[in-house]
């Protein structure tokens, strides 16, 4: 039996990962800020699937809390076979209008914490000769729209580089790049996209199933959903000036405050 550590496990895509992995018989370490929600999740998963679920409360914008997660990943006596870096941080405003302290916290969660946890997990997995890392990025990493795109671009490119570094070691790294997914993420960040066409929305459970299939196949970049595969391929082939303009116009068109 293997053990997976999932950050941001109390809601959204992370919750879907935890549910799917428990259903497949994996033990879990679930990480998030909200202890009550994590405890409820752990109790539900234990009861439904008979797996062991460890609760690790951590705010990944805090360096000391992130260090505790890294220590768990590095623990040779309790190996983690799969790391899912899913914890997110959403800000509704534009960069210059947002509080810079909040922007910095977002950077800590979506860049620094990803780097640190990958370092801890990658070294431990490499020493054992097996393991997998999934870093939840976004199709936003292929465009240019504020710090969210920039942070996700780091996640995607960092994952590609780490995958190359770990090639041949038995450890895989996958950057998961979904499009818009029906979770509570946008509501919690006070983002509304009511004008977005229905066909562009992904289901979180389907997304996770596709992601795990891609991880098993050793894919470095996973873009769930045929519609997003087409869009991501198109965007990556376009000249950057067109990408910069089209990305911003599209988001403003589909967003409804």
Task: Tell me if residue 77 falls in helix, strand or coil.
Answer: coil
Q: What is the domain extent for residue 245? A: 3-254
Query: What is the average per-residue pLDDT within 158-170?
Result: 98
Give the residue ranges of DSSP H helices in 108-220. Answer: 113-128, 146-165, 185-188, 204-216
Is residue 194 scored above 80 in pLDDT?
Answer: no
Angle, CA 39 vertex, CA 34 and CA 43 arms, to 5°: 155
Distance CA(175)–CA(211), nearest Å, equals: 9
Active-site amino acid positions: 148
Is residue 185 scored above 70 in pLDDT?
Answer: no
Is residue 201 scored above 80 in pLDDT?
Answer: no
Give the pLDDT of residue 190: 46
- For the chain, the average pLDDT equals 89
Query: What is the average per-residue pLDDT within 41-63?
Result: 98
Distance CA(103)–CA(97), nearest Å, equals: 10
Instruction: Give, as one character, the DSSP assignment of residue 5.
Output: E
Distance CA(53)–CA(30), nearest Å, equals: 7
Q: Give the chain's end-to-end CA distance (angstroms, integer).
A: 46
Closest CA to 15 of 52, 36, 42: 42
pTM for the complete prediction? Answer: 0.88
Q: Which contiguous run of DSSP H or E holds residue 252?
A: helix 240-254
**pLDDT, tens digit, for every residue of 65-98?**
999 999 999 999 999 999 999 999 878 778 899 9
Contact (Cβ atoms closer than 8 angstroms) between residue 50 and residue 23: no
**pLDDT, tens digit, for every residue of 99-147?**
999 999 999 999 999 999 999 999 999 999 999 999 999 998 888 888 9
**What are the DSSP E strand ranges found in the chain?**
3-7, 27-32, 53-57, 82-85, 131-136, 171-176, 221-222
Give the pLDDT of residue 213: 97
In the chain, the number of structural domains is: 1
Kindly indicate the confidence band of residue 162, based on its pLDDT and cuts at 50, 70 and 90.
very high
Distance CA(96)–CA(155), nearest Å, equals: 22
Give the pLDDT of residue 189: 42
Give the pLDDT of residue 196: 63
CATH assignment of the domain containing 113: 3.40.50.720
């Amino acid at each position: 039996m293997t053990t997976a550590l999932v950050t941001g496990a109390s809601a959204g895509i992370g919750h879907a990962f935890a549910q799917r992995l428990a259903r497949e018989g994996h033990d879990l370490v679930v990480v998030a800020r909200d202890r009550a929600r994590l405890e409820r999740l752990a109790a539900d998963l234990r009861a439904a699937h008979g797996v062991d679920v460890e609760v690790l409360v951590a705010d990944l914008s805090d360096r000391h809390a992130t260090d505790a997660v890294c220590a768990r990943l590095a623990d040779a006596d309790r190996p983690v076979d799969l790391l899912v870096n899913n914890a997110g941080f959403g800000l509704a405003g534009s960069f210059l209008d947002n509080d810079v302290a909040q922007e910095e916290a977002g950077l800590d969660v979506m860049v620094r914490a990803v780097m640190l946890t990958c370092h801890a997990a990658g070294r431990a997995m490499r020493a054992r000769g097996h393991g997998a890392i999934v870093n939840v990025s976004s199709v936003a990493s292929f465009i240019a729209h504020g710090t969210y795109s920039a942070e996700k671009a780091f996640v995607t490119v960092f994952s590609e580089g780490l995958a190359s570094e770990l090639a041949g070691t038995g450890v895989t790294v996958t950057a998961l790049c979904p499009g818009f997914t029906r979770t509570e993420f946008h509501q919690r960040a006070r983002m509304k996209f009511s004008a977005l066409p229905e066909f562009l929305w992904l289901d979180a459970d389907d997304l996770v199933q596709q992601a795990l299939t891609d991880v098993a196949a050793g894919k470095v970049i996973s873009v769930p959903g045929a519609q997003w595969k087409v869009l991501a391929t198109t965007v990556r082939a376009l000249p950057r000036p067109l990408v910069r303009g089209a990305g911003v116009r599209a988001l403003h068109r589909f967003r409804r405050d």
